[in-house]
Chain A
C-alpha cells in the first residue's frame, strides 16, 4: 500500500513537472513568434518606411537627379497639406511631416516603382531644390514649347494638362475642369488655372522648376509647396543679409560698399508673387558689378 502511494505520488509530481515544462516551451514559442511578427496592424512597418523614405528624400534634396524607387511591392503614398505643412502617409498609415523638403506630386501615388526627380529653383540664386514624385504620365499639350526635359519625360497618356500662353492671370483657355498652365517662356512667369476655363482663383508661380511642379500637383499640394518655397526664399534673404554684413565688416570693398546696400534693397523686394525676369536681371547685374569692382559677389 505504501509502495502504491509512493508510486502515485511520483506520478503526480512527474505530471506537474511535465505540465510546467511543456507550458513554458509552448509559451516561449508563442512569444518568439509574436516578437518576430508583431507589426501593430502595419503601423510599425509604415512608420519605419516613412522615416527611411524621409532620409532618402533628404539625400535627393541637395542634388540634381532623376531616378526610380523600387519598393518590390505595391505601396500607396499619399501627400497632403495640413496647416501649411506638407505631410505624407504610407499605405494609409501615420502622417509624417516633410519639414525641410519641398515636394510636388499628385495627391496619391500607387505602385511598386515610383519616379523621383529634382530641380533647383533659381531666383536667380538657388533658393531651394524641388523634389518631384510621380507614378503616371500625363497627356500634356504644350502650346508654348517650353522645351523642359522633365516635362517631355512626363508626356504620355493620362490626365489632361494644357500649357498655354500667359494671359494676364485670366483663365480663358481649355475645358472646364481641365488643368491649364499659362506660362511665359521668356519671363518664366506663369499661373495655373486648376479648374480650367473660368477658374476665378488662379495661382501664380515663377520659374521652370515650379512649372514642372504645376504639371504634377493639385491645387492644395501646389499651394502648400509654394508657401514652403516662399518661406525658404525669406530665409535665403536673411542668409544673404548676414553674408553682406560679414563682407562689409571685412572691409575689403570699402570704396564700393554701397553696392552691397543697393543689392540688398533690391533683394528685399523679392516676394514669391512678385518675382519677375526684370528683378532677376537687376540682381544679376548688381552681382556682376560687384565682381567688376573687385568685390566679392553676394551669390
Chain B
C-alpha cells in the first residue's frame, strides 16, 4: 500500500514536471514568434516608406502647385515664383492638413538651388525653397535634380529637390 502511494506520488510529480516544461517551451516559442513577426512588420514598413519617399520625388516634380508653364503650356521644370513662400503663405489651416496627409511621413521637403542668382531680389536670389517641414532634420535624404525656372527673368537654374524622412 505504502509502495503504491509512493509510486502514485512519483507519477504525479513526473506529470507535473512534464507540464511545466511544456508550458515553458510554449512561452518561449510565443515570445520568439511575436519577436520575428514584429521584425518582419518593421522591415515591410521600411520598404513601403522607402518606396513612398522615392515616389514622392516624382510626384512633387509633377504637381501643378510647383510645375512651371509658359502661356498655359507646361514644361519640365519647377516655377521659382510658385515655390517662393509656398510654405509660409500656402501651408496654413485646412491646407496644411491637406499637405500633411500627402507629405506626412516626411520630416522636411525643400529645394537647394545650385549657384543662385546674386542680388537682393527675394525669389530670384533665394538659396533654397522650403516646401514642407524643416530643412535638414532627422532621417535619410532622398534627392533628385530639378530645373528651376524664373518666369520674370526667363532664366533657369539647377536645383536639388530633397525629401528627408525616417524609415
- A interface list, Cβ under 8 A from B: 19-20, 23-24, 27-28, 30-31, 34-35, 38, 44, 48, 51-52, 55, 58-59, 61-63, 97, 99-100, 124-128, 231, 235-236, 238-239, 242-243, 245-247, 249-250, 252-253, 284, 287-288, 291, 296-297, 299
User: Is there contact, CB below 8 Å, between A235 and B65?
Assistant: yes
Identify which of B83-91, B107-115, B138-146 touches chain A.
B83-91
Docked-complex contact A23 and B63, CB < 8 angstroms: no
Q: Contacts A23-B21, A62-B62, A238-B89 given: A35-B36 contact, CB under 8 Å?
A: yes
Select the stretch in B1-9, B94-102, B158-166 that faces chain A.
B94-102
Q: How far is the CA of A296 from the CA of B150 in the complex (A)?
A: 9
A250 touches B64 (CB 8 A): no
Instruction: Please report the C-alpha to C-alpha distance between residue A296 and residue B90 in the assembled complex, in whole angstroms.
Output: 21
A-B contacts besides A100-B101, A242-B82, 19 pairs, CB < 8 Å: A20-B21, A27-B26, A27-B29, A34-B33, A48-B44, A55-B55, A58-B59, A124-B72, A125-B72, A235-B90, A239-B86, A242-B84, A245-B85, A245-B89, A250-B121, A250-B122, A291-B71, A297-B69, A299-B72
| A and B contact pairs by CB, cutoff 8 A, 18 listed | A24-B25, A31-B32, A35-B33, A35-B36, A55-B52, A62-B62, A124-B72, A235-B65, A246-B122, A246-B123, A247-B81, A247-B152, A288-B71, A291-B71, A296-B152, A297-B151, A299-B69, A299-B72
Task: Say how far B27's CB is from chain A's closest CB, in angstroms.
Answer: 10
- Find out whether the CB atom of B124 lies under 8 angstroms from the CB atom of A250: yes
Instruction: Give the interface centre of B18, B64, B67, B89 by most chain A CB atoms within 10 Å.
Output: B64
**Chain A residues within an 8 Å CB radius of B134:** none
List of A residues within 8 angstroms of B18 by Cβ: 19
Closest to A228 in B: B98
Instruction: Say how far B31's CB is from chain A's closest CB, in angstroms.
Output: 10
Q: Is the CB of A51 within 8 A of B48?
A: yes
Question: In chain B, what residue has the closest Cβ to A232?
Answer: B64
CB of B40 within 8 Å of the partner chain: yes
Instruction: Give 9 closest A-B pairs by Cβ, nearest first.
Output: A62-B62, A296-B151, A99-B101, A27-B29, A100-B102, A246-B81, A252-B152, A35-B36, A31-B33
Majority SS of interface residues in chain A? helix
Instruction: Provide the residues of chain A in CB contact with B48, threshold 8 Å.
Output: 48, 51-52, 55
Taking residues whose C-beta sits less than 8 angstroms from the other chain, chain B's interface range is: 35 or more
The minimal Cβ–Cβ distance linking B106 to chain A, given in whole angstroms, is 13
Do A297 and B36 touch (CB < 8 A)?
no
Q: Given A125-B64, A243-B82, A59 and B152 touching (CB < 8 A)?
A: no
Q: Which residues of B contact A249 (CB under 8 A)?
A: 122-123
What A residues does B121 contact at CB under 8 A? Answer: 250
CB distance from B166 to the nearest CB of A (A): 17
Contacts of A296 in B (CB 8 A): 81, 151-152
Q: Cβ of A100: which chain B residues have Cβ within 8 Å of it?
A: 59, 98, 101-102
Return A286 CB to nearest CB of chain B, in Å: 12
B33 to chain A, nearest CB (A): 5
